[in-house]
Amino acid sequence: MAKDYYVILGAARNATKEQIRDRFRQLARERHPDRFQGAARQQAELDFQDITEAFNVLLDADRRRQHDLELARPEASSAASDASRLGRFHMEAGVQFYRDGNFAQASDAFERAIQAEPRNHQGWHHLAQALSHQRRHLARAVEAIARACELQAINPAYLKLAGRLHAEAGLVDRAEHYYNEARTWGGEDPVVTKALDDLRKSEKKGWGGLFGKGT
pLDDT the model gives residue 85: 79
Cα 104 to the center of its chain, rounded Å: 12
Question: What are the angstrom distances between the C-alpha of 41 and each of 34, 93, 136?
Answer: 7, 11, 32
The answer to whether 136 and 168 have CB atoms below 8 angstroms apart is no
The domain locations on the chain are: 1-101, 119-215
pLDDT the model gives residue 146: 96
Q: Which of 10, 3, 2 lies closest to 117 in space, CA to CA?
A: 10
Q: Which of 31, 27, 213, 8 lies closest to 128 in space, CA to CA?
A: 213
Residue 1 or residue 21, greater confidence: 21
> Between 1.10.1840.10, 3.30.70.980, 3.30.565.10, 1.10.287.110, what CATH number should domain 1-101 receive?
1.10.287.110
Residue 194 or residue 53, greater confidence: 194
CATH fold for the domain made of 119-215 = 1.25.40
Write the single-letter amino acid at 140.
R
Run of H or E residues at 161: helix 156-168
Q: CB neighbours of 29 closer than 8 A, spacing ≥ 6?
A: none
Q: CB neighbours of 149 closer than 8 A, spacing ≥ 6?
A: 155, 158, 159, 162, 178, 181
For the segment 10-26, the average pLDDT, to the nearest whole number, is 92
pTM of the prediction? 0.61
% of the chain exceeding 90 in pLDDT: 45
pLDDT of residue 54 exceeding 60? yes
Domains 1-101 and 119-215 share a fold: no
